[in-house]
Amino acid sequence: MEHIYCDVCKKEVHDPVPEFSFFEFAHVGVCESCRDDLNAAIKLTVKEKSPFNFAWYDDLRMQVLKQGMQKGRIEARRSR
C-alpha cells in the first residue's frame, strides 16, 4: 500500500488516484481539497490578467503553493 502525503497540509491521501484525488505541480504533491483552495486563490487574479500568459500563470501558481507549504494551508479568497 502506498502512503502519499499532501505537501501543503501534510495529511495522508488515502487510496491516491493521480489527477483525481492527488495532484502534482512541479514535484509538489497536493490533495484534492488543497487543489480546490489553490484554484480558488488564483481564480480572481487570473480573470483580471489580460493578455493571458502561461509562464506568468505557472509562476503565480508556484508562488501560492510555496506560501501554502510554509503556512500549512492555502488561503483561498472565495467570493460569495
Closest CA to 42 of 61, 58, 27: 61
User: Residues 3, 6, 15, CA angle at the centre, nearest 5°?
Assistant: 40
- φ, ψ of residue 24 in degrees (nearest 5): -120, 130
List alpha helices for the chain, DSSP H: 32-48, 54-71
- Residues present in the chain in total: 80
Q: Structurally, how many domains does the chain consist of?
A: 1
Predicted local confidence at residue 22, as pLDDT? 93
Q: Is residue 76 part of a domain?
A: no
Predicted local confidence at residue 1, as pLDDT? 62
Q: Which domain holds residue 20?
A: 4-71
Q: Is residue 12 part of a domain?
A: yes
Predicted local confidence at residue 77, as pLDDT? 67
Q: Is residue 79 part of a domain?
A: no
CA dist 48 and 12 (Å) reads 35
Predicted local confidence at residue 78, as pLDDT? 54
For the chain, residues with pLDDT lower than 70 are: 1, 77-80
Predicted local confidence at residue 48, as pLDDT? 84
